[in-house]
Amino acid sequence: MSTDSTNFETIAIRLREEKTKNREHTTPIYLTSSFTFEDAEQARALFADEIGGNIYTRFSNPNNNEFIAKLCALEGAEDGIATASGMSAMFTSMASFLKAGDHILASRSVFGSTHQIISQLLPRWGITYSYADIDKPDTWEGLIQPNTKMIFIETPSNPALDIIDLEWLGKLANKHKVLLNVDNCFASPYLQQPLKWGAHIVTHSATKFIDGQGRVIAGAILASKEIIKEVRFFARHTGPSLSPMSAWMLSKSLETLAVRMDRHCENAFTLAKYLEKHPDIELVKYPFLPSHPQYAVAKKQMKQGGALVTFVVKGGIDRGRTFLNSVKLMSHSANLGDTRTIVTHPASTTHSKLTDDDRKQVGILPGLIRISTGLEHIDDLIADVEQALVASKSANSTD
């Protein structure tokens, strides 16, 4: 699998498995649990890792191989594996390297389930953790302990859209010889490549923008060959495998990632600027708005500002709930990264398991609303937001 091009769009479309004797234009779906051997010597060599090849779909499959080869080329990684969900990618990327007595340092601004892994599951196996604040970079180095083995972050973070300087953090991780693991889900490989800034591991919920159409649950882990060797050993024996059908769909989805992300970002930026000027909006956060606290960092390491916009409606939580109940075009769902615009209330859904204090510390205010901007016409999206704001203001006004 190779292509002479270095352009993102061409790689995503043209990189593929070798054609079979049937000369198909699109890679077939390899719905097989296992693969046959030409002879006993080939079987022995495959199991001894002396030669490459497919043995069992829990280990590898041509569809998974193509999907990961594309992601590696787009992220600038040497190797990677696909997993059955984004959370299996997050857990596998940690559990492959952490053992009893180790310590992990994480950004306080992480997805709710990632927070549960770090604060509830890893401690069961004697792995301790500390959280660092994005807006206090001077405190991070002091939180690194002699037994710290990994730093885990999201940038932009979910849902507060905070940004971490990857170049600075990569240098800090190298200084202390710890692995820097970056969840790149919100940006996608098209907008940001953390490995180029100093990260050692990149993780994805491919369910989101990589699929982009709300069809597939999947994850991915990308890194150097040496790092992925350890991850592959863990995954091979614990089995968080992605189905060939899902891998095939994701490989096809990557063909349109660039054009989709361009539209996502255009819509989101326009929506963010509209919200920032609206008299009924108390707060707006979007990485490419100059008002964003880490605007300069976002401009440095991201191609565009992404599809997510967060805001707080004036009138508190009651008006925020009425706003959610008033949208007509947008979908009220806990997902993101879809062609369809999705509106979410993180405090009562994706981050509901966090304490009030934890949510406050990462900027998840009670009235915070997250919009994952889709591919609809921007005029229709703004019209839906406007009518929901009018309806919520009317419903929550007092005589």
- Report the percent of the chain where pLDDT is more than 70: 94
Q: 3-state DSSP call for residue 122? A: helix
Mean pLDDT for the stretch of residues 273-279:
97
Q: Which of 7-21, 122-136, 307-321 has the lowest mean pLDDT?
A: 307-321
Could you tell me which residues come within 8 angstroms of residue 226 by beta carbon, excluding any fewer than 6 positions away?
A: none
Mean pLDDT for the stretch of residues 15-36:
93
Q: Where are the domains of the chain?
A: 8-30+61-254, 258-393
CATH assignment, 8-30+61-254: 3.40.640.10
- Report the percent of the chain where pLDDT is more than 90: 83
Alpha carbons 221 and 64: distance in angstroms, whole number: 12
pTM of this prediction exceeds 0.85: yes
The DSSP string of 331-366 is EE-S--S-SS-EEE-GGGTTTTTS-HHHHHHTT--T
258-393: CATH topology is: Aspartate Aminotransferase, domain 1 (3.90.1150)
Q: Is residue 399 predicted with pLDDT exceeding 50? A: no
With beta carbons less than 8 A apart as the criterion, state whether 279 and 313 touch. no
Helical segments of 76-150, H only: 86-95, 112-116, 140-143
